[in-house]
């Protein structure tokens, strides 16, 4: 579920970042700071989406499995 949210947020942020540059008379894309920040946010979400399941298997997961074995 969290991976889907990250992917949808990333795609939406990338699409929204290009909208201001489509208007006539607007400055070029690289001169619009808000659009660049939004694009970087979208790329960050798309980059982190595949990595999220591995974060859940960190130290907390190891401690939970260790404690479950000790108490059984």
Residues 18-50 have pLDDT tens digits of: 888 888 888 888 888 998 999 999 998 888 877
pLDDT reported for residue 39: 92
How does 31-47 read in b/e, with b if 16+ C-beta sit within 10 Å?
ebeebeebbebbeebbe
Location of structure tokens 């401690």:
63
Please compute the mean of the pLDDT values over residues 6-16 and round it to a whole number: 88
Provide the domain count of the chain: 1
Predicted TM-score (pTM) of this structure: 0.62
Domain that holds residue 62: 2-71
Percent above pLDDT 70 for the chain: 79
């Amino acid at each position: 579920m969290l991976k889907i949210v990250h992917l949808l947020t990333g795609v939406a942020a990338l699409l929204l970042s290009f909208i201001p540059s489509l208007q006539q008379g607007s400055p070029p894309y690289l001169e619009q700071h808000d659009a660049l920040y939004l694009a970087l946010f979208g790329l960050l979400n798309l980059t982190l989406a595949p990595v999220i399941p591995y974060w859940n298997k960190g130290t907390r997961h190891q401690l939970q499995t260790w404690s479950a074995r000790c108490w059984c």
